[in-house]
Amino acid sequence: MDISHSVGPVTLLEGNTPLIPAPRLAEMVVPGGKLFLKYEGLNPTGSFKDRGMTTAMTQAVADGAKTVICASTGNTAASAAAYAARAGMKCVVLVPDGKIALGKLAGAIAYGAQVVTVLGSFDDGLRMVREASEKAPIALVNSVNPARIQGQKTAAWEVTEQLGTVPDWLCLPVGNAGNITAYWLGFCEGSLLLPQLLGAQAAGAAPIVLGKAVENPDTKATAIRIGNPARWTEAVAALKESNGHILAVSDEEIFAAYHALAKVEGVFCEPSSAAGVAGLLKSVKEGRLDPEGKTFVCVLTGHGLKDPDSAVADAPTTISIPPDTDSLLKALAL
Ligand code: F0G
Protein backbone atom coordinates (compact mmCIF):
# COMPACT_ATOMS: atom_id res chain seq x y z
CA MET A 1 0.00 0.00 0.00
CA ASP A 2 1.29 3.45 -0.91
CA ILE A 3 0.94 5.57 2.20
CA SER A 4 3.24 8.37 1.10
CA HIS A 5 0.46 10.77 0.08
CA SER A 6 -3.03 11.63 1.18
CA VAL A 7 -5.07 9.99 -1.58
CA GLY A 8 -6.39 6.55 -0.69
CA PRO A 9 -7.55 4.98 2.53
CA VAL A 10 -7.90 7.10 5.64
CA THR A 11 -5.55 5.14 7.83
CA LEU A 12 -3.34 5.41 10.89
CA LEU A 13 -1.88 1.97 10.17
CA GLU A 14 -4.19 0.29 12.65
CA GLY A 15 -4.28 -3.46 13.33
CA ASN A 16 -1.40 -5.92 13.64
CA THR A 17 -1.82 -5.93 17.39
CA PRO A 18 0.00 -8.61 19.37
CA LEU A 19 -1.52 -11.89 20.49
CA ILE A 20 0.17 -12.29 23.85
CA PRO A 21 0.49 -15.70 25.53
CA ALA A 22 -0.71 -15.53 29.13
CA PRO A 23 0.54 -18.73 30.80
CA ARG A 24 0.33 -17.51 34.40
CA LEU A 25 -3.21 -16.22 34.03
CA ALA A 26 -4.11 -19.45 32.19
CA GLU A 27 -3.29 -21.44 35.33
CA MET A 28 -5.81 -19.35 37.27
CA VAL A 29 -8.53 -19.08 34.62
CA VAL A 30 -8.32 -22.10 32.31
CA PRO A 31 -6.28 -24.83 34.09
CA GLY A 32 -5.06 -27.35 31.52
CA GLY A 33 -5.76 -24.93 28.67
CA LYS A 34 -3.87 -22.21 26.79
CA LEU A 35 -4.75 -18.54 27.03
CA PHE A 36 -3.83 -15.71 24.65
CA LEU A 37 -4.66 -12.01 24.90
CA LYS A 38 -5.46 -10.07 21.73
CA TYR A 39 -4.26 -6.67 22.90
CA GLU A 40 -6.39 -4.28 20.88
CA GLY A 41 -5.45 -1.41 23.17
CA LEU A 42 -2.32 -1.07 21.05
CA ASN A 43 -4.23 0.36 18.10
CA PRO A 44 -3.41 4.01 17.21
CA THR A 45 -6.11 5.59 19.40
CA GLY A 46 -5.93 2.88 22.05
CA SER A 47 -8.90 0.69 21.15
CA PHE A 48 -10.21 -1.84 18.63
CA LYS A 49 -12.47 0.83 17.14
CA ASP A 50 -9.69 1.97 14.79
CA ARG A 51 -10.07 -1.18 12.68
CA GLY A 52 -13.58 -0.20 11.66
CA MET A 53 -12.97 3.53 11.64
CA THR A 54 -10.44 3.37 8.81
CA THR A 55 -13.05 1.73 6.56
CA ALA A 56 -15.98 3.88 7.74
CA MET A 57 -14.02 7.10 7.27
CA THR A 58 -12.64 6.03 3.89
CA GLN A 59 -16.23 5.31 2.79
CA ALA A 60 -17.42 8.66 4.16
CA VAL A 61 -14.74 10.47 2.12
CA ALA A 62 -15.70 8.49 -1.00
CA ASP A 63 -19.35 9.48 -0.42
CA GLY A 64 -18.35 13.14 -0.26
CA ALA A 65 -19.20 13.65 3.42
CA LYS A 66 -17.85 16.77 5.11
CA THR A 67 -18.97 15.94 8.67
CA VAL A 68 -19.20 12.67 10.58
CA ILE A 69 -21.16 11.97 13.75
CA CYS A 70 -21.37 9.19 16.32
CA ALA A 71 -22.72 8.38 19.75
CA SER A 72 -20.18 6.80 22.03
CA THR A 73 -19.25 5.57 25.47
CA GLY A 74 -15.83 7.04 24.61
CA ASN A 75 -13.64 4.87 22.42
CA THR A 76 -15.64 5.29 19.22
CA ALA A 77 -15.58 9.04 19.87
CA ALA A 78 -11.78 9.18 20.16
CA SER A 79 -11.32 6.95 17.13
CA ALA A 80 -13.81 8.86 14.96
CA ALA A 81 -12.20 12.13 16.00
CA ALA A 82 -8.71 10.95 15.01
CA TYR A 83 -9.71 9.51 11.63
CA ALA A 84 -11.85 12.56 10.85
CA ALA A 85 -8.85 14.76 11.59
CA ARG A 86 -6.78 12.61 9.28
CA ALA A 87 -9.43 12.96 6.55
CA GLY A 88 -9.83 16.70 7.06
CA MET A 89 -13.46 16.28 8.12
CA LYS A 90 -15.50 17.72 10.96
CA CYS A 91 -16.45 15.30 13.70
CA VAL A 92 -19.28 15.51 16.22
CA VAL A 93 -19.40 13.03 19.12
CA LEU A 94 -22.26 12.51 21.57
CA VAL A 95 -21.22 11.02 24.91
CA PRO A 96 -23.22 10.32 28.07
CA ASP A 97 -22.66 13.17 30.50
CA GLY A 98 -20.27 12.18 33.32
CA LYS A 99 -20.03 8.54 32.18
CA ILE A 100 -17.00 8.66 29.91
CA ALA A 101 -13.48 7.72 30.99
CA LEU A 102 -11.01 10.59 31.08
CA GLY A 103 -8.54 9.26 28.52
CA LYS A 104 -11.31 8.90 25.93
CA LEU A 105 -12.58 12.42 26.45
CA ALA A 106 -9.00 13.65 26.29
CA GLY A 107 -8.55 11.89 22.95
CA ALA A 108 -11.75 13.26 21.42
CA ILE A 109 -10.81 16.79 22.49
CA ALA A 110 -7.18 16.46 21.38
CA TYR A 111 -8.18 15.27 17.91
CA GLY A 112 -10.45 18.30 17.58
CA ALA A 113 -13.95 16.81 17.71
CA GLN A 114 -17.00 18.77 18.76
CA VAL A 115 -17.90 16.97 21.97
CA VAL A 116 -21.59 17.04 22.96
CA THR A 117 -22.52 15.60 26.34
CA VAL A 118 -26.02 14.12 26.53
CA LEU A 119 -27.98 14.03 29.77
CA GLY A 120 -28.93 10.44 29.07
CA SER A 121 -27.45 7.09 28.10
CA PHE A 122 -25.43 5.90 25.11
CA ASP A 123 -28.69 4.47 23.78
CA ASP A 124 -30.27 7.95 23.80
CA GLY A 125 -27.24 9.29 21.96
CA LEU A 126 -27.40 6.56 19.33
CA ARG A 127 -31.08 7.27 18.67
CA MET A 128 -30.27 10.96 18.27
CA VAL A 129 -27.36 10.50 15.85
CA ARG A 130 -29.32 7.99 13.77
CA GLU A 131 -32.12 10.52 13.38
CA ALA A 132 -29.75 13.44 12.84
CA SER A 133 -27.89 11.62 10.05
CA GLU A 134 -31.20 11.03 8.28
CA LYS A 135 -32.23 14.66 8.55
CA ALA A 136 -28.91 16.39 7.88
CA PRO A 137 -25.92 15.80 5.58
CA ILE A 138 -23.79 14.06 8.22
CA ALA A 139 -22.27 10.58 7.88
CA LEU A 140 -22.98 8.18 10.75
CA VAL A 141 -19.88 6.22 11.83
CA ASN A 142 -21.32 4.05 14.60
CA SER A 143 -21.13 0.29 14.05
CA VAL A 144 -24.63 0.33 12.52
CA ASN A 145 -22.59 1.54 9.51
CA PRO A 146 -21.70 -1.67 7.59
CA ALA A 147 -18.23 -0.33 6.69
CA ARG A 148 -17.32 -0.46 10.39
CA ILE A 149 -18.02 -4.20 10.56
CA GLN A 150 -16.01 -4.83 7.39
CA GLY A 151 -12.95 -3.22 8.95
CA GLN A 152 -13.38 -4.77 12.37
CA LYS A 153 -13.64 -8.31 11.01
CA THR A 154 -9.90 -8.23 10.19
CA ALA A 155 -9.21 -8.93 13.86
CA ALA A 156 -10.56 -12.46 13.39
CA TRP A 157 -8.20 -13.02 10.46
CA GLU A 158 -5.25 -11.74 12.48
CA VAL A 159 -6.02 -14.03 15.41
CA THR A 160 -6.20 -16.99 13.01
CA GLU A 161 -2.91 -16.02 11.35
CA GLN A 162 -1.14 -15.50 14.66
CA LEU A 163 -2.32 -18.76 16.19
CA GLY A 164 -1.95 -20.72 12.97
CA THR A 165 -5.54 -21.86 13.46
CA VAL A 166 -8.73 -20.61 15.09
CA PRO A 167 -8.97 -20.79 18.90
CA ASP A 168 -11.47 -23.16 20.48
CA TRP A 169 -13.06 -20.18 22.21
CA LEU A 170 -12.95 -16.45 21.52
CA CYS A 171 -14.05 -14.39 24.53
CA LEU A 172 -14.97 -10.72 24.44
CA PRO A 173 -17.01 -8.00 26.12
CA VAL A 174 -20.33 -7.13 24.49
CA GLY A 175 -21.82 -3.63 24.51
CA ASN A 176 -23.44 -2.42 21.31
CA ALA A 177 -22.53 -5.86 19.86
CA GLY A 178 -20.65 -4.60 16.79
CA ASN A 179 -17.44 -6.37 17.71
CA ILE A 180 -18.92 -9.82 18.26
CA THR A 181 -20.79 -9.41 14.95
CA ALA A 182 -17.57 -8.45 13.17
CA TYR A 183 -15.47 -11.28 14.65
CA TRP A 184 -18.08 -13.83 13.62
CA LEU A 185 -18.21 -12.45 10.08
CA GLY A 186 -14.41 -12.54 9.89
CA PHE A 187 -14.16 -16.12 11.15
CA CYS A 188 -16.93 -17.31 8.82
CA GLU A 189 -15.22 -15.69 5.83
CA GLY A 190 -11.69 -16.59 6.82
CA SER A 191 -11.67 -20.27 7.70
CA LEU A 192 -13.60 -23.52 7.57
CA LEU A 193 -12.84 -24.06 11.23
CA LEU A 194 -14.82 -21.86 13.58
CA PRO A 195 -14.36 -20.96 17.25
CA GLN A 196 -17.07 -20.92 19.88
CA LEU A 197 -17.89 -17.40 21.03
CA LEU A 198 -18.14 -16.34 24.65
CA GLY A 199 -19.70 -12.92 25.19
CA ALA A 200 -19.71 -11.09 28.50
CA GLN A 201 -21.99 -8.23 29.51
CA ALA A 202 -21.85 -6.22 32.71
CA ALA A 203 -24.54 -7.42 35.11
CA GLY A 204 -26.12 -3.95 35.29
CA ALA A 205 -26.16 -3.65 31.50
CA ALA A 206 -26.95 -7.13 30.23
CA PRO A 207 -29.88 -6.83 27.81
CA ILE A 208 -28.87 -9.78 25.62
CA VAL A 209 -28.44 -12.06 28.64
CA LEU A 210 -31.80 -10.94 30.06
CA GLY A 211 -33.56 -11.01 26.68
CA LYS A 212 -34.90 -7.50 27.14
CA ALA A 213 -33.68 -3.92 26.86
CA VAL A 214 -32.34 -2.35 30.05
CA GLU A 215 -33.81 1.11 30.61
CA ASN A 216 -31.12 2.49 32.93
CA PRO A 217 -27.93 0.51 32.32
CA ASP A 218 -25.44 0.79 35.14
CA THR A 219 -21.86 -0.43 35.52
CA LYS A 220 -18.44 0.98 36.38
CA ALA A 221 -17.27 -0.55 33.09
CA THR A 222 -18.57 2.53 31.28
CA ALA A 223 -17.52 1.39 27.78
CA ILE A 224 -20.20 -1.32 27.86
CA ARG A 225 -22.87 0.64 29.72
CA ILE A 226 -25.45 -0.03 27.00
CA GLY A 227 -29.08 -1.09 27.44
CA ASN A 228 -30.27 -1.70 23.88
CA PRO A 229 -27.51 -2.91 21.53
CA ALA A 230 -27.83 -1.97 17.86
CA ARG A 231 -26.41 -5.32 16.69
CA TRP A 232 -28.46 -7.42 19.12
CA THR A 233 -29.96 -9.76 16.48
CA GLU A 234 -26.58 -10.38 14.83
CA ALA A 235 -24.97 -11.09 18.21
CA VAL A 236 -27.62 -13.65 19.12
CA ALA A 237 -27.21 -15.34 15.73
CA ALA A 238 -23.41 -15.44 16.09
CA LEU A 239 -23.66 -16.93 19.58
CA LYS A 240 -26.10 -19.58 18.38
CA GLU A 241 -24.21 -20.46 15.19
CA SER A 242 -20.93 -20.77 17.09
CA ASN A 243 -22.53 -22.90 19.79
CA GLY A 244 -21.27 -20.31 22.25
CA HIS A 245 -22.84 -18.48 25.14
CA ILE A 246 -23.26 -15.05 26.68
CA LEU A 247 -23.30 -14.34 30.39
CA ALA A 248 -23.43 -11.46 32.83
CA VAL A 249 -20.47 -10.61 35.05
CA SER A 250 -20.62 -8.32 38.07
CA ASP A 251 -18.48 -5.22 38.39
CA GLU A 252 -16.47 -7.03 41.10
CA GLU A 253 -15.76 -9.88 38.71
CA ILE A 254 -14.81 -7.45 35.94
CA PHE A 255 -12.46 -5.50 38.20
CA ALA A 256 -10.90 -8.68 39.63
CA ALA A 257 -10.03 -9.76 36.07
CA TYR A 258 -8.81 -6.24 35.24
CA HIS A 259 -6.39 -6.28 38.18
CA ALA A 260 -5.26 -9.85 37.48
CA LEU A 261 -4.42 -9.06 33.84
CA ALA A 262 -2.17 -6.17 34.87
CA LYS A 263 -0.66 -7.73 38.01
CA VAL A 264 -0.22 -11.31 36.81
CA GLU A 265 0.60 -10.77 33.13
CA GLY A 266 1.65 -7.11 32.91
CA VAL A 267 -1.11 -6.36 30.41
CA PHE A 268 -3.02 -3.21 31.26
CA CYS A 269 -6.45 -2.90 29.68
CA GLU A 270 -9.45 -0.80 30.57
CA PRO A 271 -12.04 -2.35 32.92
CA SER A 272 -14.62 -3.23 30.23
CA SER A 273 -11.95 -5.05 28.25
CA ALA A 274 -11.46 -7.47 31.13
CA ALA A 275 -15.09 -8.64 30.96
CA GLY A 276 -14.21 -11.42 28.50
CA VAL A 277 -11.66 -12.83 30.96
CA ALA A 278 -14.17 -12.47 33.82
CA GLY A 279 -16.79 -14.29 31.75
CA LEU A 280 -14.36 -17.07 30.89
CA LEU A 281 -13.36 -17.55 34.52
CA LYS A 282 -17.00 -17.68 35.57
CA SER A 283 -17.93 -20.15 32.81
CA VAL A 284 -15.13 -22.50 33.87
CA LYS A 285 -16.00 -22.16 37.57
CA GLU A 286 -19.66 -22.89 36.89
CA GLY A 287 -18.77 -25.93 34.77
CA ARG A 288 -20.20 -24.44 31.58
CA LEU A 289 -17.00 -25.24 29.74
CA ASP A 290 -14.10 -27.62 30.27
CA PRO A 291 -10.78 -25.87 29.58
CA GLU A 292 -8.66 -29.05 29.38
CA GLY A 293 -6.53 -29.04 26.21
CA LYS A 294 -8.38 -26.04 24.76
CA THR A 295 -7.08 -22.76 23.36
CA PHE A 296 -8.71 -19.52 24.44
CA VAL A 297 -8.31 -16.02 23.05
CA CYS A 298 -9.58 -13.11 25.13
CA VAL A 299 -9.94 -9.84 23.26
CA LEU A 300 -8.70 -6.87 25.31
CA THR A 301 -10.59 -4.12 23.53
CA GLY A 302 -9.04 -0.97 24.99
CA HIS A 303 -5.86 0.27 26.70
CA GLY A 304 -5.73 0.70 30.47
CA LEU A 305 -4.62 4.33 30.18
CA LYS A 306 -8.01 5.16 28.68
CA ASP A 307 -9.41 5.07 32.20
CA PRO A 308 -6.80 6.40 34.64
CA ASP A 309 -9.43 7.04 37.33
CA SER A 310 -10.27 3.34 37.55
CA ALA A 311 -6.58 2.48 37.74
CA VAL A 312 -5.89 4.67 40.76
CA ALA A 313 -9.30 4.31 42.44
CA ASP A 314 -8.56 1.39 44.75
CA ALA A 315 -4.79 1.66 44.59
CA PRO A 316 -2.83 0.95 47.78
CA THR A 317 -1.61 4.14 49.44
CA THR A 318 1.62 5.42 47.98
CA ILE A 319 4.58 6.05 50.28
CA SER A 320 5.72 9.66 50.62
CA ILE A 321 9.25 10.34 51.93
CA PRO A 322 11.88 13.09 52.17
CA PRO A 323 14.45 13.05 49.33
CA ASP A 324 17.16 10.93 50.98
CA THR A 325 18.15 7.28 50.58
CA ASP A 326 18.06 6.41 54.28
CA SER A 327 14.40 7.39 54.39
CA LEU A 328 13.80 5.22 51.34
CA LEU A 329 15.44 2.15 52.88
CA LYS A 330 13.61 2.73 56.16
CA ALA A 331 10.26 3.12 54.41
CA LEU A 332 10.83 -0.09 52.47
CA ALA A 333 11.96 -1.83 55.70
CA LEU A 334 15.27 -2.87 54.03
N1 F0G B 1 -14.78 -2.79 25.00
C2 F0G B 1 -14.55 -1.47 24.86
C3 F0G B 1 -13.30 -0.92 25.44
C4 F0G B 1 -15.47 -0.65 24.18
O5 F0G B 1 -15.21 0.65 24.05
C6 F0G B 1 -16.64 -1.22 23.67
C7 F0G B 1 -17.62 -0.42 22.98
C8 F0G B 1 -16.82 -2.60 23.83
C9 F0G B 1 -15.88 -3.35 24.49
C10 F0G B 1 -18.01 -3.30 23.31
O11 F0G B 1 -17.97 -3.44 21.91
O12 F0G B 1 -20.04 -2.22 21.37
O13 F0G B 1 -18.88 -3.63 19.68
O14 F0G B 1 -20.05 -4.67 21.60
N15 F0G B 1 -17.57 0.84 22.91
C16 F0G B 1 -18.48 1.67 22.10
C17 F0G B 1 -17.98 3.11 22.11
C18 F0G B 1 -19.90 1.51 22.42
O19 F0G B 1 -18.80 4.02 21.94
O20 F0G B 1 -16.80 3.34 22.24
P21 F0G B 1 -19.31 -3.49 21.09
Expressed in angstroms and rounded, the spacing between residue 307 Cα and the centre of ligand 1 is: 14
pLDDT, tens digit, 9 for 90 and up, residues 273-300: 999 999 999 999 999 999 999 999 999 9
Expressed in angstroms and rounded, the spacing between residue 178 Cα and the centre of ligand 1 is: 8
Expressed in angstroms and rounded, the spacing between residue 321 Cα and the centre of ligand 1 is: 41
The pLDDT value recorded for residue 180 is 98
The pLDDT value recorded for residue 315 is 76
- The residue whose C-alpha atom lies closest to atom 4 belonging to ligand 1 is 223
Mean pLDDT for 149-171 is 98
Expressed in angstroms and rounded, the spacing between residue 169 Cα and the centre of ligand 1 is: 20
Ligand 1 atom with the smallest distance to the CA of 302 is 3
| pLDDT tier, 10 (very low <50, low <70, confident <90, very high otherwise) | very high
Expressed in angstroms and rounded, the spacing between residue 317 Cα and the centre of ligand 1 is: 31
Expressed in angstroms and rounded, the spacing between residue 174 Cα and the centre of ligand 1 is: 7
Estimate to the nearest angstrom the gap between the alpha carbon of 247 and the chain centroid.
17
Ligand 1 atom with the smallest distance to the CA of 177 is 14
| pLDDT tier, 161 (very low <50, low <70, confident <90, very high otherwise) | very high
- The residue whose C-alpha atom lies closest to atom 11 belonging to ligand 1 is 175
262-301 per-residue burial string, b: 16 or more CB within 10 A, e: under 16: eebbebbbbbbbbbbbbbbbbbbeeeebebeebbbbbbbb
Residue-range domains of the chain with CATH: 19-46+148-313 (3.40.50.1100), 49-144 (3.40.50.1100)
Torsion angles phi and psi, residue 226, rounded to 5:
-135, 130
- The whole-model pTM stands at 0.96
The pLDDT value recorded for residue 1 is 52
Mean pLDDT for 94-110 is 97
Q: Any residues with Cβ below 6 Å from ligand 1, and which?
A: 47, 49, 72-76, 143, 173-179, 223-224, 270, 272-273, 301-302
The pLDDT value recorded for residue 89 is 98
pLDDT higher than 80, residue 314: no
Alpha-carbon distance values, 40 to 125, 179, 280 (Å): 25, 12, 18
**CA gap 302, 84 in Å, rounded:** 20
Mean pLDDT for 30-43 is 98
